[in-house]
Structure 1
Amino acid sequence: MAVDIAAEPRRDTIDGGYVEEEQPGRLVRLHGRLDVHSVPDVREALHRAVDGGTGDLVAGLGDAHIADATGLGVLVGAHRRAQRQGRRLVLDDVPPPVLRLLRVTRLYRVLPLAPVPAAQAQVLTRELRQNSRALPSSMPRRAS
């Protein structure tokens, strides 16, 4: 299957959102919910982008909401597919709730994140600290 890399940007409508391939094989933006219902279509769009280019594939998540584990799984699967082809899937414009989820699951160690400007990094760090303190732990306290 030959993919025309110089093709026009592609937009795939998905249940609850859409995937927009701004630069075929190089830049993909995810919009809407990533959950069990939308993952098959998102997976297909990401695989097409991985197969259709070279170098890093940047996935913009600014308008994405990961609703369940299958949303994370599709990103990990696309990352592994990219690695097999000598590429990287780099997450860009990651919103704080998704960043928090990547931190809790420790997937930030596996999935490369695009560098953010220093001012934005300070805001994200502050938000993550505040939000992590605001949520009580579900673990019982240790007896002293």
Structure 2
Amino acid sequence: MHVWGDDRELHLSGTLDVHSAADVRARVHTAVDRGTGDFVLDVSRVDTLDATGLGLLVAIHRRAGRRERRFVLRGATPAVHRILVITRLHRILVLQGAVAA
């Protein structure tokens, strides 16, 4: 998993799973805690995510809310979007620019 960006927007590339979640979590917490306004997580280059990755997205949503920031998930691939719909997280998370199948 590769992570880059700043306190307003982070980009992910690779697989968001049990093996990569801890590193991503650390970067996200720092960005969310330091920044202001919307926090955007661009997942347009994320291939897949597992239950740990889904849990991390929910945790980011909660953390951003506690910091009075809105969490925006940008560019969900069809595979990621399908998982969000199956788990009904698409109803909770703010999705932007989902990639069409």
- Partners of 1:72 and 1:29 lie apart in 2 by 16
Gapped regions of structure 1 (runs ≥ 5): 1-16, 128-144
Residue-pair matches, total: 101
Q: Would you say the 8 A contact 1:66–1:72 is kept in 2?
A: no
Where does residue 48 of structure 1 map in the other structure?
30
**Structure 1 residue matching 2:35: 3-state secondary structure:** coil
Give the % identical residues.
50
Report which of the two has the higher share of strand. Answer: 2
Query: Residue 81 of structure 1 aligns to which amino acid in structure 2?
Result: R
| Root-mean-square deviation over aligned CA pairs | 1.4
TM-score of the aligned structures, taking structure 1 as reference length: 0.66
Which residue does 2:40 correspond to in 1?
58
From the CA coordinates, give the structure whose radius of gyration is larger: 1
Displacement of 1:93 after TM fit? 1.0
In the alignment, which residue of structure 2 is the partner of 1:92?
Answer: 74
Query: How far is 1:66 from its partner?
Result: 3.1
Stretches of structure 2 that go unaligned for 5 or more consecutive residues are none
Q: Note if contact 1:62-1:93 (Cα within 8 Å) is conserved in structure 2.
A: yes
Distance 1:89 1:27 in 2: 10
TM-aligned CA deviation for residue 75 of structure 1: 1.0
Say which structure, 1 or 2, has more relative contact order (CA 8 Å, 6+ apart).
2
Q: Which whole-Å CA distance do the structure 2 matches of 1:91 and 1:67 have between them?
A: 14
TM-score by length of 2: 0.93
Alignment counterpart, residue 83 of structure 2, candidates 101, 104, 108: 101
